[in-house]
Structure 1
Amino acid sequence: MKTEQKWAVIGLAIGMLCPLLLVAQRLGESHNTWGKTAANGLAIATPAVCAAGAFLAGRKITRSEERFAQQIDNDRKQWFMLDDFIGSLDRGDMRAQVSNDFNDRKIAAQLDGYKTKLMAEKEEEARRTWETRGLASFGELLRATTDLSHLADDVVRFLVKYVDGNQGSIFFLQEQPDEEPVLTLAACYAYERKKHMTKTIAPGEGLVGQCYFEKETIVLHQVPKDYIRITSGLGTGAPGFIAIVPLKTNDQVNGVLEIASFKKLSNNAVKFLEKAAEAFSSVIQSMKTNDHVRTLLEASQRQTEELRSQEEEMRQNMEEIQAIQEQMSRQLERNTVIRHALEAREKVLGLTTILSESDVFGTILFANDKFCELAQYSQEELIGKPHNLIRHPDMPKEIFRQMWVEIKAGNAFHGIIKNRRKDGSHYWVDSTIVPVIEDGKIVKYIGARYHIKDDDVAEKLFFRQMRRMGLLDLVR
């Protein structure tokens, strides 16, 4: 039975109460016919009116229930649409869309905005994960070797593959004594220029040199013609993208990284290359510092060894010097004894012998006190004068001629000579003249004479000498 029919039956039942009440009232009354007639009509109409009113009320209630049920069903469908959309997002399906049948477009727009934000966060998270994983792997690579040349090969290979590039190269800064530094090719991966790669680049020269000079990343979306060619399995072609990144640490550039690709690299890939380049530059700087420290240490060790060797040599020299000093001390003691003996002999010689020295021409260079005393001349009067200053006129010149022949020949001359004093008197000497030879040449003559005080003895010796020399006729 329908709801409105139920309500009509209920209204009819209520309406039947009126006739029943009227019947009861009539049983108690017996007059007023009009009133009875009106009440009878009202009593008869009341059930129909109540049934109709209840029927209409039931219909209204039924329609309200149908609208409420329809609203609940619609709301359930709306929630199913939301649940399906949110479930798709939760499963990571970012292609999900809010159904066009969803009635609240404001909420739909908010959900689309949430999905866009979620997609951006997911992409950012994926980018961070990609970068973090790459930098972690790159860090392990940097710690794997201490050979900078091999490390450069591994680095350029890793970076080209990780950013999905095609070719790459690394240039290191090379210091040159008394010259400007240059960028030298250290490593390359799948790299081929049109003819030959330039292995040395001056700062400021070309794009690589410009990157070093400016210390900033250079990104090219339009690569100059014939700059480089990318070789692949399909042939060769010009790259569509090039990133040139300085290997920089604390504003100190240690080299340049160049990555070429057919397709454009994302900004995230370029930032990753910059971070990797900074990390690699730190390793380069550290290796350079370690090499410098190692060089200084080796130099210090060599200097220490040299100093130790020099110290040992100095110790040996000191021992030798000490031995020499001891030897010299002993020699000095002996020399002192010899000097004293020589002084005594010289004193005796000075008292007994007439000594003089002359040059090769007979000019007096030295005369001892005994010479000056016997000749009655002072040293000032004798030195610089010829020996014939004291020659006596009685002496034949032939004797002196033979004397010069002997001493110039390097032989010693011995003879009895009569000399003249300053006052004109004479004195006899037993004279010996010896040439002094140095480097095979006569440099001077030394004369030693002994005074013959007895004239008779001197004359006898003189005549005997003249007879021996065959000059006796010159004195008769």
Structure 2
Amino acid sequence: MTDKQQKLEEYKGEINKRADRVLSFTIAGYFLFGIFLAFFYDTWLVGLCVGFLNLALYFGTKLLLPKQKAHHYIGSLVMAIFMAQFIYQMHGLFEMHFTAFIAIIVLIGYQDWKVMLPATIFIVIHHASFAYIQYLGVTEGNEAYQQIYFTQLDYMDLQTFLFHVGLVAVAVVIAGATSIYMKTRSMVIFDRMHLADIRAMQTEVNIEFAKEIANSNYDYQYELSTDDQLGKALVDMRDSLKVSARREKQEKFMNAGLAKLSDIIRDHNGSMEELTYQTITFLVKYMELNQGGIFIAHNDKGENEETYLELQGCYAFERRKRINQKVGVGEGLVGQCYLEKDTLYLTEIPVDYIRIKSGLGDANPRVLIIVPIKRDAMVEGVMELAGFQELEDYQIEFLKEAGESIAVAINTTKVNERTNSLYQQSLQQTEEMKAQEEEMRQNMEEMEATQEEISRKNKEIEKQSAESRSLLNGLQSLMAIIEFEPNGTIIEANDNFLNAMNYSLEDIQGKHHRIFASDEYAKSDEYKSFWKELGNGHSKKGVFERFSSTGDLVKLNAVYTPILDDTGSVQKVVKLATVENE
């Protein structure tokens, strides 16, 4: 039984209860009225016995069958019997016939024309039989028949009887039609009441639903009725707000995440290791994943060499085993992601590809996402994250945008590290140059000391011989200087040397010292040993025979001095020489 049917039965039950009360009071009143009528013609036996039997018949049926409608029909019959009793008690008084109409009116309350049938049938049988019996008693002089009272007339002719019965029939038809109309109206009223109850219930549900919407509970379970327009509007509003809230949540997730990521990049861009560690740590926690790593693309030997990916920053990986791990381009999922420059999102992870460890053990992740760290078409690396919770589309999109920001940061950090390396190298070279200059200064001081010694000796010789002084001055004016790389390649030479050897700087620069030596000497072990010792930092002094560009032999009184850097390695070799004339 549906809820509506149950309420309809309850509604009909209330109607029947009201009609029962009216009928019960009417029957009780009829009983008392019968006792009252007994005073007129001493009809106490009929008034008490018939009245009591009527009461017992009605109320007994009602008591024994409370859930049945039998007492409705019994009550209808009892009302008609009371009518016959009253007619008998008042010796056929016409006014007693009106009690039949009272019975019919009372029975209208049941809104069921069938309830009137027992009373109607009894009235018809009673009127027909009693009228006929009284008629026979009068016309045939039968005193016994004359004691059957139906009317105060001597007898009722057929015309009067037909009018009498016809009026009763009209009253019954009108009462039946009224009963049907009242039943129809009751059904209409019930439908309206039921609809009002439904709408009231819908209103309460809609109010509760609206409160949940106001509290941003967009997942509240709400059953929408087919004819609930307000509910439909609330559902549409809920769905619209839910979409807006989801979009706002996703935008907030994206914007807040990228802002925090920018702060991390700004605070830790001084070191690649620190940058990658802080970045992957933030992403793993922000995405509510379990572990991750960032692989940086490297090409140490130039563009023509093979690129590889190195795990530089990781979170919750087996750090000792995985850090500095190198992956080739196209090798595994990480290498394939770098090669294809596209995101890989897997929910079916290859067995033993990766394990997530905790204090209680380890397990395969349910989700693995590998995102290229790229800006435009330039891939700087790959980040790999794993966890147990599947990602939504906006979270994957966040990782892609995060990859672009990280790519810029990695590129900037690479440039900064390269610049810093060059700067440090420049400082080192500057220090080396300073050391070389200091060594040159010391050599020059030694040369100056030597020159001073020579000058002193020259002065002494000048005292002895002007020719010796002239010769020393000539040697000093012919001092030649040339610089070599440790392997003997010519770097620089002064004019004295160039003039002595009859070369221009362009002719000798970048060439080996062997251009000044004979072919035989240049190929000898002695010559190789000569440069090997210079390369090991040993100076060479003496008179050396060399050949000019014209093939002329030139003898040089020279000192080969290796110039060392901070590490003790030979940076270059400086030759100080004077030309000895034949």
TM-score where L is the length of structure 1: 0.48
- The normalised TM-score by structure 2 is 0.40
More helix by proportion, 1 or 2? 2
In terms of fraction of residues, the more strand-rich structure is: 1
